[in-house]
A and B are shown apart, each in its own frame.
Chain A
């Protein structure tokens, strides 16, 4: 059930109405949301609902054991055991074929490996996200960040809550579980903000992302050999905007839907292409993942506490695994390695003192923005291309002179809109929200309907899946 569909709209409106009707019976309210979340997931494939339930149940039970145990070593054993179960599940479903494939390829270099069946199970939708939720629950309980006692229904709902289930944002147990423990206030629903996020998300996904995919990016990456350098560059810029609008559009809709239920999700994007350095970029791009990796991987590895060599090592390990999290393919690993390299080079550069004054100038910030944007675009080529051969094809085209033939007015307009929109002052959104607050509810409902109607008509027909669903 994709967000921009009639089916989801009907499901959402029904669920919203029932959830608020039950709000004075918190237990029933949460049980209903849990049931609705399983229905939402089951619409994709009922066979994997037990997996989702099982992971949540294991995480909830282990979290309870950690909370009830005083002995530090036993707590750690339970934590490690729970994380191993979660990660093993992820590895089994997502990486079995990839690992065996590479093992056989390495074996083939020194001898003939045995004949093996590498066929793995079908990849469950959203497994990377719900496994990370489960680990967050274990980690937050172990570190004492979650003060309240874990109860199983809340743990199950935290992992499965449908607005974030398929592609995030990755919630922290310490942020979301306390919300589940407190009844929602029916007099204080952030309706305007929620609806603005939903409309903005639909606009980004249906109009910008889908139109760029159909009219520029997909055809260009399908046959890069036929393109000139300027056309290839435009397609890469187009993909940079497409993936931003696709993913941030999804999370805007998810955050907006949650707000209408009375729950707050963390921000997941903060105008990432305005970043001036790689560290700044990762504070703005997929924030819930980058902060998850920072807190549950980079810092446990030692972070930046043990000198520049270990910092560089930890950065690279974190980004390599972050790349692998996106998919079982070397292209994703290299994408992560590139970003790891960017972060390391930036740390070395930032440690120099001779250009401290230069770095604070406006001109230099713009130079940095442009440089970083192109470095990020170069990495996106690995992210988008289905194979390393095609990555080579794309880079080879940049050296080919020729005319710019793909620059249709609409395409250029969408790319500019996707980039320039990130420089829009946040106060514009606040001003619109304040303005809407003065309108009567039926008028706002009519505006919402007209907005969605316009988006539906202007978008390409058919619904393309969100890019991040595959992860």
Chain B
């Protein structure tokens, strides 16, 4: 629409009346939406002001019945959406196998795997970075009753992925990809492409950017996850979540400052309840740790989330906490955007925001995860490392 054809103009007085009318009608119509918006703000002065104000306004206008219009429209849309099939990756149409770009080395179980469910199954060993600090896991408490506030001082250098049993002939294995933008950006694309190459696997897209466990008022995973699954019951789940959780939140009317003892206890409780939900039908879960972040302050927050998640979920049956940093970070475990292969050529590991994984970075995580989901049958002997694996061994 060209501005040069504009035939009508107004005075600023007219504009002021128009906008005043707009604000009044918008507040009437959107009082419910504004209350939701304020509820979702980060904890801080703005929220302290906006949340009670908009909540009182919404409550006052509720008696006028105007908010009912919004509620009914949203309910109608929700009904329409429920009639759509659940979001999932369509099945492979052409079964012609497409070779994976690179696979992680596969070794037999050493027999030392403590999880009885995994005995006798092939183990996917992610390649290690030279120079990664030795796995020192210090715990001062093993309690998981929601009250424990002490957490692991550091993370294990590498986690062994004990592959799931091969999918029986004629059956499929349903895999749920769960998480926030750490799953949605890069990793889900890679995994979905890989899963599409395995006719035994069937994917459910259960991730949502901008979510987490800190703010159920914004997005409640406990409510939303079952809806995302629909009638499906995943056999395996890959989780990448936590990037938005480095913030304070309100619980029972009290602001819990990020990192405080009360916050740690509450977050641990949420982790446990989320794991309960994920594993209630016996699904096997891989919980991917967050990689190091570019901005130091943010990285420190994510480090706490990582240690807390590791400390909590790795204690749970059916759950493996997997350290993505062993593939993504530099030899000192610090953030890096690029890495060099042994031949000197390079690979970009991270997106430009210094948070998410790049396409190639996510491509390093996908092969071991896919091998965990659908191990080769029969299980091969120790496979020769691929060129990409050598990158990490040599670094």
The answer to whether A119 and B336 have CB atoms under 8 Å apart is yes
Whether a CB of chain A sits under 8 angstroms from the CB of B337 is yes
Q: How far is the CB of A259 from chain B (nearest CB, A)?
A: 6
Partner-binding segment picked from A50-58, A80-88, A302-310, A383-391:
A383-391
Cβ proximity bits A425-436 to B, threshold 8 Å, 1 near / 0 not: 010011001101
Cβ proximity bits B319-358 to A, threshold 8 Å, 1 near / 0 not: 0000000000000000111101101111010001110000
The answer to whether B192 and A222 have CB atoms under 8 Å apart is yes
The answer to whether A442 and B205 have CB atoms under 8 Å apart is no
> Which residues of chain A from 431 to 461 have a CB within 8 Å of any chain B CB?
433-434, 436-437, 441-446, 448-450, 452-453, 456-458
Main secondary structure of the interface of A (DSSP, over half): helix
What separation, in Å, do the CA atoms of A380 and B33 have in the docked complex? 36
Whether a CB of chain A sits under 8 angstroms from the CB of B381 is no
> Which residues of chain B from 294 to 327 have a CB within 8 Å of any chain A CB?
294-295
Whether a CB of chain A sits under 8 angstroms from the CB of B270 is no
The answer to whether B8 and A192 have CB atoms under 8 Å apart is yes
Cβ proximity bits A233-257 to B, threshold 8 Å, 1 near / 0 not: 0000000000000000000100100
What separation, in Å, do the CA atoms of A111 and B343 have in the docked complex? 8
> Which residues of chain B from 248 to 304 have a CB within 8 Å of any chain A CB?
294-295
The answer to whether B294 and A446 have CB atoms under 8 Å apart is no
Cβ proximity bits A388-414 to B, threshold 8 Å, 1 near / 0 not: 011001000000101001101000000
What separation, in Å, do the CA atoms of A191 and B17 have in the docked complex? 12
Whether a CB of chain A sits under 8 angstroms from the CB of B7 is yes
Main secondary structure of the interface of B (DSSP, over half): mixed
> Which residues of chain B from 1 to 58 have a CB within 8 Å of any chain A CB?
1-3, 5-12, 14-26, 29-30, 33-34, 37
Collect the chain A residues with CB atoms within 8 Å of residue B37's CB.
6
Q: How far is the CB of B55 from chain A (nearest CB, A)?
A: 15
The answer to whether B25 and A449 have CB atoms under 8 Å apart is yes
What separation, in Å, do the CA atoms of A335 and B258 have in the docked complex? 45
Collect the chain A residues with CB atoms within 8 Å of residue B14's CB.
189, 191, 441
Closest to A188 in B: B9
The answer to whether A6 and B34 have CB atoms under 8 Å apart is yes
What separation, in Å, do the CA atoms of A457 and B29 have in the docked complex? 11
The answer to whether B193 and A225 have CB atoms under 8 Å apart is yes
Whether a CB of chain B sits under 8 angstroms from the CB of A363 is no
Collect the chain A residues with CB atoms within 8 Å of residue B295's CB.
122
Whether a CB of chain A sits under 8 angstroms from the CB of B360 is yes
Whether a CB of chain B sits under 8 angstroms from the CB of A187 is yes
Whether a CB of chain B sits under 8 angstroms from the CB of A417 is no
Whether a CB of chain A sits under 8 angstroms from the CB of B245 is no
Residues of chain B having any CB pair with chain A under 8 Å? 1-3, 5-12, 14-26, 29-30, 33-34, 37, 70, 73-74, 77, 84, 87, 89-94, 98, 101, 186, 188-189, 192-193, 195-197, 203, 205, 208-210, 294-295, 335-338, 340-341, 343-346, 348, 352-354, 359-360
Residues of chain A having any CB pair with chain B under 8 Å? 6, 13, 16-17, 20, 23, 97, 100-101, 104-105, 107-108, 111-120, 122-123, 186-193, 195-197, 200, 219, 221-228, 231, 252, 255, 259-260, 264-265, 267, 386-387, 389-390, 393, 400, 402, 405-406, 408, 426, 429-430, 433-434, 436-437, 441-446, 448-450, 452-453, 456-458, 462, 470
Given contacts A223-B192, A442-B17, 7 further A-B contacts (CB under 8 A): A100-B346, A118-B340, A119-B338, A120-B337, A189-B12, A191-B10, A222-B89
Question: 6 smallest A-B Cβ distances: which pairs?
Answer: A445-B21, A223-B192, A118-B338, A449-B25, A113-B344, A445-B22
